[in-house]
A and B are shown apart, each in its own frame.
Chain A
Amino acid sequence: MPGVLFFGFFAVVPMGLAFYLSFTSWDGLGDPKPVGLANWQKLIEDDRMVQSLWLTVLLTAVSWAFQTVIALLLGVWAAGRQRNRAVLSAIFFVPFLLSSTAIALLFYALLDPNFGIIQQNILGSSSGAFLAIVFVGGWQFIPFHTLIYQGGARQIPEVLYQAAAIDGAGRYRQFFSITLPQLRHTITTSTVLMVVGSLTYFETVLILTKGGPGTDTAILPYLMYEAGFKSYDFGYASAIASFLVLVATVLSLILVRLTGFGGMRSTREGM
């Protein structure tokens, strides 16, 4: 299976290599020199690291809440078939067509205190910069998740709604008793993608805030980038990266367990 080899070479081997490099000191030139646990010790003692981990988790959680609520509601709404809904859904989708870089640049310009829509230095305050990153990420990815929920909502059998209506359940009752439970697999799929995806806010951070003000938006991937490709301390960068893999793996194992995603079941089961 050449596919497994290819994937192994470019994704799995580097992961092992990252772990190895975390025990060395390497400036990007020459050969890595083993230094034992020095990088890991530095990692544990680094205050920025604690702040960064907290920021990463907070950013993921806040983005998840923001995007899930809006995407779920929009998706369920758009699942109905109506002319104006189709047109609106097409417009909603447009932000997703721009690359993260383009979107970050767009908001970089629009949030510019001299030029922008809001004549205030939002990116200069730490909570403002944080919320800007949450908002920009949502602006880009909500269309995609809306689409996922729209697909999920269309697969809910209408018989359920008819039965509920006969039993006298109102619209909100139907939403909470039928739509939400029926969408639980869609919610987990979308959540997995959001959790992994929130790590790609790297571009947004790099362009919008450069981790600032100070280090107030320096999420883990950004910290790793700075340590490696700005300070040329690749050993330390690898320690941060290994830590990141650890966090991501634990998260994904929990999610796979919770969803039974790995059970090789038919996707049509239970429909």
Chain B
Amino acid sequence: MSHDTLPRPRPRPVKAGKSPAGPPPAGRARRHWTKRANPVAGLGSLLWLVVVIIPIYAMISASLTGQDKALTGNPLSPPTDPTLDNYNTVLHSGFGHLLANTVIVAVAVVGIVLALCVPLAYVAVRTRDRWSGMAFRLFLLGVAIPAQAVVVPLYLLIAKLDLYDSLLAVILPTAAFAMPVSVLVLVGTLRDVSEELYEAMALDGASPQRMLFQLAVPMAKGGISTVVIYAALQAWNGFLFPLIFTQSDEPRVLTLGLFNYVSQFGVNIPALLASVVLSGVPIFAVYLVARRALVGGLMGVGGK
């Protein structure tokens, strides 16, 4: 995990003018990997860049267009008369409240997932009995349980627990469904902590708790940051649980708020797009600040 983000040694410069003919110098492959342009791949990536940028551009440009002009102009031409009216409209329809709720959900989900998954992964790695193996397998299966499949009985459970229409009704199931992948990622990193370190600490008379907090947690920092990012994104992205377990304005989160703007703004597409832009701003700000951790952490999800 964390080793993905470590800087690699720079390739040694290959001396020019040496052995132009004959077998290719050893540095060639390395150059292919790091320096030499691959025109086909370069072109392909530029093509995808266009696919990525056009919708984003059209969205921002349209969100700055007055509603009266929206239906006449081509959405790809820049707005002739940029206006922030749409943003004003959105900000005055309870956007701050939605954002605050979403942040609460994300923080709570991350907290629950960490508190439960770190000890769980630690036990799964350190003990080799049948129960921990079974628990681990349960989580492996859990990766494949689609949230959609259990939403009806969860609805029943949430209602019986008297949690319906509260933020907790969103937080608890979201945290539960973020657990399987989190456990897998943490088990992956904790496995790489060498056995000798634990033995050394045990010889010094350290308790299991101390080993967990002073050895395992610091060593698994990379995995833990991956889990934080993953759980936070799940909470940020969650739509189904808020849609079904909440109803009133009070516990409404951002994704659901956006969904409701469709009916609220009707055909006011510029305002709708302004709300989409606004919903992206907070996480984009986080991305700018923590790009390395975010990208490195997510790279870790697949680094198995």
Contacts and interface: CB of A to CB of B under 8 A. Distances in A.
B125 to A, nearest CB: 9
Interface string A96-115: 01111110011111101011
B48 A10 contact: no
Q: Tell me if B's interface is mostly helix, strand, loop or mixed.
A: helix
B38 A171 contact: yes
B41 A77 contact: yes
Nearest to A22: B152
A17 B41 CA distance: 50
Nearest to A142: B48
A54 interface: no
Q: Is chain A's interface secondary structure helix, strand, loop, or mixed overall?
A: helix
Interface string B270-292: 00110110011001100100010
Interface in B212-247: 236-237, 239-240, 244
Interface stretch (B89-97, B134-142, B199-207): B134-142
Interface string B10-44: 00000000000001101011101111001001101
B192 A268 contact: yes
A28 B154 CA distance: 12
Given A91-B53, A203-B239, A18 B280 contact: no
Interface in A207-264: 207, 220-221, 224-225, 228-229, 234, 237-238, 241-242, 244-245, 248-249, 251-253, 255-256, 261-262, 264
A127 B298 CA distance: 33
A58 interface: no
Contacts, number: 315
B148 A116 contact: no
Nearest to B303: A151
Contact of B148 (A91, A166, A221): A221
Contact of A266 (B192, B256, B279, B291): B192
Given A106-B276, A151-B300, A238 B179 contact: no
Interface of A: 1-4, 6-15, 17-18, 21, 28, 70, 73-74, 76-82, 88-95, 97-102, 105-110, 112, 114-117, 139, 142, 144-145, 147-152, 154-155, 158, 161-166, 168, 171, 174, 185-186, 189-190, 192-193, 196, 199-200, 202-203, 207, 220-221, 224-225, 228-229, 234, 237-238, 241-242, 244-245, 248-249, 251-253, 255-256, 261-262, 264, 266-268
